[in-house]
Amino acid sequence: MKKNGFNCAETILRVANDELKLGLDKNAFLLAAGFGGGMGVGNVCGALTGSIMVLGRLYVKDRAHESTRIKDVEKKLIDAFEKEFGTLLCTPIKDKHFHPEHKCKAVVLKTAELLEELLASDPPAG
């Protein structure tokens, strides 16, 4: 989905920043730029990678290796995403869900819903 020209990863990160008050600045959003289109080559879906960025911000305080929960919540999200779409890969997801006018909006919306459900069932501390 390219709302205002943003790719799927950027869109997830920007919406999560607004909704969850993550406190990310303009430069932080640039980190998601290369993850759209399955990292530009049809690999892992940008909506999923953007969601994992959100999990990192919420579940890691300083270093990933110090977090006791990040791998667990990532696995839960990845499993839910794969169950929903049958794959983690952008190309087959686009083949099935891409719309010429709306791009991957349905995928982004469903991924955001999966992320929201995960956060509700396994909220970050603090």
In tens, the pLDDT along 94-114 reads 999 999 999 999 999 999 999
Which amino acid is it at 110? K
Residue whose tokens read 């956060």:
119
Question: Average of pLDDT values for 4-24?
Answer: 95
pLDDT band at 126 (very low <50, low <70, confident <90, very high): low
Question: Average of pLDDT values for 65-88?
Answer: 95
Domain coordinates in residue numbering, the chain: 3-121
Is the full-model pTM beyond 0.75? yes
In tens, the pLDDT along 113-123 reads 999 999 999 99
Contact 81, 48 (CB under 8 A): yes
